[in-house]
Amino acid sequence: MRNGLGGAEVQEEQLCHLLTVGSLPSVSLGVVPTRTERSRMPVEGFWIFDTGQVNVELVSGYLTLTQPSEVAAYADTFRELADMAVYGAKARALITSVIQTLR
């Protein structure tokens, strides 16, 4: 949440949007606090579609991974990040505190 991309106004809009969608009953929004110890932290964005495919966005391209061992590695990484994340009121409090620093 504090990477500086897009400037303060854009970041505030995005964070406010997270607060809105995070309150929907069908959405589970987790935030990994910045000071959390992490043994595995990906630098790339990734999307897990099912047990058979992960898409990874890199600086130089876009990968579609289908090897079971590669898909499992990203699923393990996601589980680790989800376990570190805070949810509900704690996630909203973190997001709100960042919004306040942007104003």
17 and 29 Cβ atoms separated by less than 8 Å: no
Confidence at residue 53, expressed as pLDDT on a 0 to 100 scale: 97
Q: Give the residue extent of every domain in the chain.
A: 1-31+86-103, 34-85
Confidence at residue 87, expressed as pLDDT on a 0 to 100 scale: 97
Share of the chain residues as helix, strand and coil, in percent rounded to the nearest 5: 45, 15, 35
Confidence at residue 43, expressed as pLDDT on a 0 to 100 scale: 78
Confidence at residue 5, expressed as pLDDT on a 0 to 100 scale: 74
Q: Quick one: how many helices (H) and strands (E) in the chain?
A: 3, 3
- Kind plus residue range of the DSSP H or E element containing 54: strand 53-57
| pLDDT-flagged residues of the chain (< 70) | 1-4, 36, 38-40
Q: Mean pLDDT across the chain, nearest whole number?
A: 90
CA dist 30 and 54 (Å) reads 20
Confidence at residue 39, expressed as pLDDT on a 0 to 100 scale: 66
Confidence at residue 97, expressed as pLDDT on a 0 to 100 scale: 95
